[in-house]
Amino acid sequence: MAYLFTSESVSEGHPDKVADQISDALIDHFLAFDPDSKVACETLVTTGQVVLAGEVKSKTYLDVQQIARDTINRIGYTKGSYMFDGNSCGVLSAIHEQSEDINMGVDRGSKEEQGAGDQGMMFGYATSETENFMPLGLDLSHLLLKELAALRRENKEITYLRPDSKGQVTIEYSDDNVPQRIDSIVLSTQHDDFADDKTMLETIRKDVKEILIPRVIAKLPESIQALFDANITYHINPTGKFVIGGPHGDTGLTGRKIIVDTYGGKGAHGGGAFSGKDPSKVDRSAAYATRHIAKNLVAAGVAEEVLVQVSYAIGVVEPTGIFIDTYGTCPFNMTDGEIAAKVREIFDMRPFAIEERLKLRAPIYSETAAYGHMGRQNEIVTKTFSQPNGEDVTVEVELFTWEKLDYVDKIKEAFGL
């Protein structure tokens, strides 16, 4: 029997994502001036207020308040009427030095012997149902909100949009797990106040269907475009009015959108957030590494769908275990346990090896903090960072290295494919 599966996304202006973006902007600045920085920073945003907290060990000094303000302004909170804007909000920093008890388990005489920054399990997932090996519902949810943000910044076709929004897509699957059609789309967007509530709803719903949706469809491959039909159920601003939003409408916290950040409910999640953590924290680095493994396994033809789990003990170099689930989609006679043994031979999962393989000790994290950490475009960019003393640094960095299909040939050789 066919079934439905739903995934959601939130925009860069969602309060939790504002917090994530501030935390990752801090990470990038610390790593730009001191690549060996150890950072775990959390952000809280609410009406007119930002609170920064966490632990840092770094040789550099930053104006963390200004970094927070610049991030908020870039997102689009620039007006006093939003009750939260980068130029006037209060910014309180309670960041302090990292515990030596934790640091002694991570830093060793040899970088290769660097221990895991914490215990825990991390998951990576990939599926062949989309070109970027991501679940379709999540991919579409992200794209809806990215295009909505683009329309807001252009301020031409739609001129009343505010930064906060949420999207959700429900896909109908066949018995053999193939997407058949889009069953429903939910979209709630913050907006300027209208003189008339009835006109407001009619305008927003018309603009979403006639402007936003066609822009989204135009960016999709033909096979996915075919899933949009006249029978889709739309729920557009279903509460009716969404003027009060962002951190004024809801308090935002770093790390509260971990399913949006990963696979939209598909696969599994170990529970650890990503944003605000330097790559010595395996919550982040090992989650990227397992995505890299899963994606390359599917691209190499080992399975149509793969879940990879890795686990660690704090301060211990080698992972405590690696697990593979191919959901019965492996086309040749090999058990998941045998596949896991091969994976352990191919991929060095020690924390420092992951950092080196994926080039994680670089300021690459601001781009991850909205619209998902997985399924993104691998590219090289140039970025410039400033310190309070006027010193600038310009660096060329590679983004989303865990999305590269650079291990496909090694996997095929190892599996005899």
Residues 307 and 392 in one domain: yes
Is residue 283 annotated as involved in ligand binding?
no
Residues 153 and 188 in one domain: yes
Domain annotation covers residue 103 = no
Residues 241 and 271 in one domain: no
| Alpha-carbon torsion angle 211, 214, 220, 222, nearest 10 | 180
Is residue 49 annotated as involved in ligand binding?
no
Is residue 118 annotated as involved in ligand binding?
no
Residues 271 and 410 in one domain: yes
Is residue 191 annotated as involved in ligand binding?
no
Residue that is last in its domain, among 195, 212, 246: 246
pTM for the predicted model, two decimal places: 0.95
| Cβ count within 10 A of residue 2 | 11
Residues 124 and 145 in one domain: no
Is residue 42 annotated as involved in ligand binding?
yes
Is residue 383 annotated as involved in ligand binding?
no
Residues 289 and 231 in one domain: no
Cα–Cα distance, 223 to 221 (Å, whole number): 6
Residues 290 and 237 in one domain: no
Is residue 198 annotated as involved in ligand binding?
no
Residue 392 belongs to what domain range? 120-128+266-415
Nearest to 305 by CA among 314, 297, 317: 297
Domain annotation covers residue 315 = yes
Domain annotation covers residue 253 = no
Is residue 256 annotated as involved in ligand binding?
yes
Is residue 241 annotated as involved in ligand binding?
yes
Domain annotation covers residue 208 = yes
Domain annotation covers residue 112 = no
pLDDT value at position 106?
61
On whether the CB atoms of residues 236 and 249 are closer than 8 A, the answer is no
Count of domains for the chain: 3
Residues 233 and 189 in one domain: yes
Residues 71 and 146 in one domain: no
Domain annotation covers residue 70 = yes
Is residue 366 annotated as involved in ligand binding?
no
Is residue 165 annotated as involved in ligand binding?
yes
Cα–Cα distance, 353 to 359 (Å, whole number): 10
Is residue 257 annotated as involved in ligand binding?
yes
Nearest to 126 by CA among 271, 266, 285: 266
Is residue 277 annotated as involved in ligand binding?
yes
Is residue 369 annotated as involved in ligand binding?
no
Residues 181 and 45 in one domain: no
Residue that is last in its domain, among 246, 275, 305: 246
Is residue 268 annotated as involved in ligand binding?
no
Domain annotation covers residue 107 = no
Give whole-number Cα distances, 251 to 71, 78, 256, in Å.
17, 18, 11
Domain annotation covers residue 324 = yes
Residues 316 and 377 in one domain: yes
Provide φ and ψ at 287, rounded to 5°.
-65, -40
Which ranges of the chain have pLDDT less than 50?
none
Residues 378 and 292 in one domain: yes
Q: Which helix (H) or strand (E) holds 183?
A: strand 179-191
The CATH number of the domain holding residue 360 is 3.30.300.10
- Using DSSP bridges, classify how beta strands 179-191 and 161-173 pair: parallel, antiparallel or unpaired: antiparallel
On whether the CB atoms of residues 179 and 239 are closer than 8 A, the answer is no
Is residue 345 annotated as involved in ligand binding?
no
Give whole-number Cα distances, 139 to 50, 212, 216, in Å.
30, 16, 11
